Chain A
């Protein structure tokens, strides 16, 4: 009885969260916060996709920017060359990312561990260089600029929310089905899985295909929403390939909701630091007249990447399975030390 209750609770929570997110634009009028929420949801998609391939299937990719960028460029180029609405590009963005995933897998999957990681990194970087050089086709570093369709953030918010819930749901369903078990068996011991009759190459490719598809969709949505892309933005090793990893690591690798939590932490963290806690330091500095507070605020603003880097180190050291993966540990260690009076 208790087990069933907790299971229901487990299923209920995501639904409540979803309902809350769906109602959010009704209460939240600020475009600015909606924008941050859209970024958060976009990262949910990217982080969850990476997590499917790396966290569940054990293939740690350092090249996910390739799929993100291909998705974004599919939408952008369709508009650029053929004047086709980039919303069509969104449907195709995932497909093209999937197609790029095929040779990607063919090259990387024979390799294991660090070699896989390096090969994926090299491919991601290679695509970026090609997109930069193929000026006549991609527009090169001048990039592609479009006018976003909607003035209001609300449609984008719902589209992103839809994409995020769909990708997380699909990953959850897969992980509860047979392929999901195969994925995990590949992660745990590839040779053992193969000797038990799992077609490891096939299932690694399946995992990659789904992962690439969702990442590509996210990329195409980025094009639609941001209205501007260039190769260094969407194929960025640091801003996408590595960030996707960090989002999942912070939230919890190999858990369905880990990347969601990680995405929230990452976006909130960056924006809090970038704005100096929304101007709190600047205000306190002015109110109290203590120059040091203002200076501290400026330092915080400058340190937004540093802060995130330190967060990553701390998480890997103390919560190696991320916030979600080590939730029990957090509950045990953090909340017992401070019991309610």
Chain B
């Protein structure tokens, strides 16, 4: 029983972080209809920001306030100067934007490698290893905090999308771009802002992950994969879906690791992903309708 509960807790906490990674991706995918294959690389950048600030004595949680705006600006720049120009160009494949994100991901990784080499960096704080226990179950303090912050961000996003004008415009663009344009929404501007917000959210995930994990230039790739798995699980453009998707993936990985073996962790994620693609297209959004 302890094994089960501990696995459950571990999966849940990890799921909170995954959700935060997924929300950024789901917004971008929902609004632009493209997969952002540089998503994990953006997170990697935020982790390096956290690392650099940490060497100057800044706490990772404080660096949230630096990394998020920085990555917001970067996301805006990428969308405005590298992705939006592609919409107007006639090409054989509509996927040029996706391929562009592949190129961007490569360039980001290599620039970081250039600046920091391939060395592993880590941000150790005095709370990195801290735990508290309920009964026999141990909770990692930083992961619990990360879970709380992820939840907070999701609620904030939810409110933002439902209640603000800008949020409504984003939702309108996600649902029907042409109709939104006709209704007077500047969809070009909306895509730029959305990419910025998506980047800022994944930056937050990076800052929260930094104290419990480590940092190196190639860290982005695996997280990009996780991000799109979460997005497909949750349904495009759905913030609540991303939470569900993130927690589901976290739980599935942990349960898979405990009951099948740790080497099956990734396969469990990929299998769920393909099953959802085939049998529940639209993800949890179809079930929850939000």
B100 on the interface (CB 8 Å rule)?
Answer: yes
The stretch of B68-76, B140-148, B154-162, B272-280 in contact with A is: B272-280
A312 on the interface (CB 8 Å rule)?
Answer: yes
Question: Residues 115-137 of chain A: 1 if any B CB is under 8 Å from the residue's CB, otherwise 0?
Answer: 10111011101100110110000
Question: Residues 90-105 of chain B: 1 if any A CB is under 8 Å from the residue's CB, otherwise 0?
Answer: 1111111011101110
A contact face: mostly helix, strand, loop, or mixed:
helix
In contact, B89 and A119 (Cβ under 8 angstroms): no
Please tell me the size bucket of the interface on B: 35 or more
The residue in chain A whose Cβ has the minimal distance to the Cβ of B261 is: A133
Listed in ascending order, the chain B residues whose CB lies under 8 Å from chain A are 29, 33-35, 82, 85-86, 89-96, 98-100, 102-104, 106-107, 109-111, 113-114, 221, 225, 228-229, 232, 263-264, 266-267, 270-271, 273-274, 277-278, 281
In contact, A320 and B91 (Cβ under 8 angstroms): yes
Q: With A and B bound together, what is the CA distance between A276 and B263 in angstroms?
A: 40
| A126 and B277 contact, Cβ closer than 8 Å, known pairs A303-B110, A313-B103 | no
| A253 and B98 contact, Cβ closer than 8 Å, known pairs A115-B277, A305-B106, A320-B86 | no
Residue among B33, B99, B111, B232 with the highest chain A CB neighbour number at 10 A: B99
Which residues 237-278 of A have a CB within 8 angstroms of B?
237-238, 242, 245-246, 249, 253-254
A48 on the interface (CB 8 Å rule)?
Answer: no
In contact, B273 and A317 (Cβ under 8 angstroms): no
Q: With A and B bound together, what is the CA distance between A97 and B281 in angstroms?
A: 28
| Residues in chain B near residue A107, CB distance under 8 A | 274, 278
In contact, B35 and A118 (Cβ under 8 angstroms): yes
28 A–B contact pairs at CB < 8 A?
A58-B93, A111-B277, A115-B232, A117-B98, A118-B35, A118-B232, A118-B273, A121-B228, A125-B225, A126-B274, A129-B263, A238-B221, A245-B99, A245-B102, A246-B99, A246-B102, A246-B103, A254-B92, A303-B110, A308-B106, A309-B104, A309-B110, A312-B99, A312-B102, A313-B107, A316-B99, A317-B82, A320-B90
